Amino acid sequence: MAVPILKQGGYLIASIQAALTDSDVVQLQDDLVERVGEYRSRGIIVDVTALDVMDSFASRALRGLAHMTRLRGAETVIVGIQPEVAFAMVQLGMNLEDVHTALDLEEGLAFLDAQTKEPGDSDR
Protein backbone atom coordinates (compact mmCIF):
# COMPACT_ATOMS: atom_id res chain seq x y z
CA MET A 1 0.00 0.00 0.00
CA ALA A 2 1.45 3.35 -1.02
CA VAL A 3 2.08 5.84 1.75
CA PRO A 4 0.24 9.15 1.27
CA ILE A 5 2.51 12.18 1.21
CA LEU A 6 1.05 15.56 2.19
CA LYS A 7 2.59 18.90 1.47
CA GLN A 8 2.36 21.24 4.41
CA GLY A 9 4.05 24.58 3.81
CA GLY A 10 7.72 23.89 3.18
CA TYR A 11 7.48 20.38 4.53
CA LEU A 12 6.40 16.97 3.29
CA ILE A 13 4.58 14.69 5.69
CA ALA A 14 4.46 10.96 4.98
CA SER A 15 2.03 9.29 7.29
CA ILE A 16 2.33 5.51 7.29
CA GLN A 17 -1.12 4.00 7.73
CA ALA A 18 -0.57 0.27 7.78
CA ALA A 19 2.03 -2.48 7.68
CA LEU A 20 4.54 -1.88 4.90
CA THR A 21 6.12 -4.41 2.61
CA ASP A 22 9.76 -3.92 1.66
CA SER A 23 8.72 -2.62 -1.75
CA ASP A 24 6.35 -0.09 -0.12
CA VAL A 25 9.27 1.19 1.92
CA VAL A 26 11.48 1.52 -1.16
CA GLN A 27 8.62 3.27 -3.00
CA LEU A 28 8.27 5.76 -0.16
CA GLN A 29 11.99 6.43 -0.29
CA ASP A 30 11.86 7.11 -4.04
CA ASP A 31 8.71 9.26 -3.82
CA LEU A 32 10.09 11.48 -1.09
CA VAL A 33 13.47 11.99 -2.71
CA GLU A 34 11.69 13.07 -5.89
CA ARG A 35 9.11 15.31 -4.25
CA VAL A 36 11.73 17.21 -2.30
CA GLY A 37 12.76 18.59 -5.69
CA GLU A 38 9.25 19.01 -7.04
CA TYR A 39 8.00 21.00 -4.03
CA ARG A 40 11.35 22.46 -3.02
CA SER A 41 10.74 21.12 0.48
CA ARG A 42 13.13 21.89 3.30
CA GLY A 43 11.89 19.28 5.70
CA ILE A 44 10.30 15.84 5.76
CA ILE A 45 8.40 14.09 8.49
CA VAL A 46 7.85 10.34 8.33
CA ASP A 47 5.21 9.35 10.85
CA VAL A 48 5.64 5.70 11.85
CA THR A 49 3.10 5.71 14.69
CA ALA A 50 1.06 3.00 12.95
CA LEU A 51 4.05 0.67 12.46
CA ASP A 52 4.04 -2.26 14.86
CA VAL A 53 7.42 -3.48 13.71
CA MET A 54 10.57 -1.86 12.45
CA ASP A 55 13.00 -4.51 11.37
CA SER A 56 16.50 -4.18 9.96
CA PHE A 57 15.23 -3.55 6.43
CA ALA A 58 12.81 -0.78 7.38
CA SER A 59 15.37 0.87 9.67
CA ARG A 60 18.00 0.80 6.98
CA ALA A 61 15.57 2.22 4.42
CA LEU A 62 14.57 5.10 6.70
CA ARG A 63 18.20 5.86 7.39
CA GLY A 64 18.90 5.81 3.66
CA LEU A 65 15.94 8.08 3.06
CA ALA A 66 17.22 10.61 5.60
CA HIS A 67 20.68 10.60 4.02
CA MET A 68 19.38 10.91 0.46
CA THR A 69 17.01 13.74 1.23
CA ARG A 70 19.71 15.55 3.17
CA LEU A 71 21.82 15.47 0.01
CA ARG A 72 18.84 17.08 -1.70
CA GLY A 73 18.76 19.83 0.92
CA ALA A 74 15.96 18.62 3.18
CA GLU A 75 16.05 17.41 6.77
CA THR A 76 14.09 14.29 7.69
CA VAL A 77 12.58 13.56 11.07
CA ILE A 78 11.12 10.18 11.97
CA VAL A 79 8.27 10.58 14.44
CA GLY A 80 6.08 8.23 16.42
CA ILE A 81 8.34 5.21 17.04
CA GLN A 82 6.27 3.19 19.51
CA PRO A 83 7.89 2.16 22.83
CA GLU A 84 7.73 -1.56 21.98
CA VAL A 85 9.23 -0.89 18.57
CA ALA A 86 12.06 1.14 20.12
CA PHE A 87 12.73 -1.73 22.52
CA ALA A 88 12.85 -4.28 19.72
CA MET A 89 15.12 -2.09 17.59
CA VAL A 90 17.64 -1.82 20.41
CA GLN A 91 17.53 -5.59 21.07
CA LEU A 92 17.98 -6.24 17.38
CA GLY A 93 21.07 -4.04 17.40
CA MET A 94 19.52 -1.48 15.11
CA ASN A 95 20.05 2.20 15.35
CA LEU A 96 19.13 5.11 13.16
CA GLU A 97 22.55 6.69 13.66
CA ASP A 98 22.38 10.37 12.84
CA VAL A 99 18.73 10.37 11.80
CA HIS A 100 16.57 12.83 13.69
CA THR A 101 13.66 11.42 15.63
CA ALA A 102 10.91 13.08 17.61
CA LEU A 103 8.13 11.85 19.85
CA ASP A 104 5.22 12.83 17.63
CA LEU A 105 4.17 14.98 14.70
CA GLU A 106 3.97 18.14 16.79
CA GLU A 107 7.50 17.71 18.13
CA GLY A 108 8.73 16.84 14.66
CA LEU A 109 7.30 20.03 13.20
CA ALA A 110 8.83 22.10 16.02
CA PHE A 111 12.19 20.46 15.33
CA LEU A 112 12.01 21.22 11.61
CA ASP A 113 10.96 24.82 12.29
CA ALA A 114 14.06 25.25 14.43
CA GLN A 115 16.33 23.45 11.93
CA THR A 116 15.21 25.14 8.76
CA LYS A 117 14.97 28.68 10.08
CA GLU A 118 17.09 30.95 7.91
CA PRO A 119 19.81 32.83 9.80
CA GLY A 120 18.18 36.12 8.74
CA ASP A 121 14.69 35.14 9.90
CA SER A 122 13.40 37.32 12.67
CA ASP A 123 12.20 35.61 15.83
CA ARG A 124 8.48 35.54 16.25
The Cα–Cα gap between 19 and 9 comes to 27
The contact mask relative to other proteins for 61-80 (x = CB under 8 A, - = no) is --------------------
Among 5, 55, 72, 96, which residue interacts with other proteins (rule: CB under 8 A)?
A: 55
In the range 79-108, which residues lie near other proteins by CB under 8 A?
82-85, 87-89, 91-94
2 scored as a contact of other proteins (CB under 8 A): no
- Whether 17 contacts 50, CB under 8 Å: yes
Phi, psi of 67 (to 5 degrees): -70, -45
Phi/psi for 32 (5° steps) reads -70, -40
* Length of the chain as a residue count: 124
Q: Which residues of this protein are in contact with other proteins, per CB under 8 A?
A: 19-23, 52-57, 59-60, 82-85, 87-89, 91-94
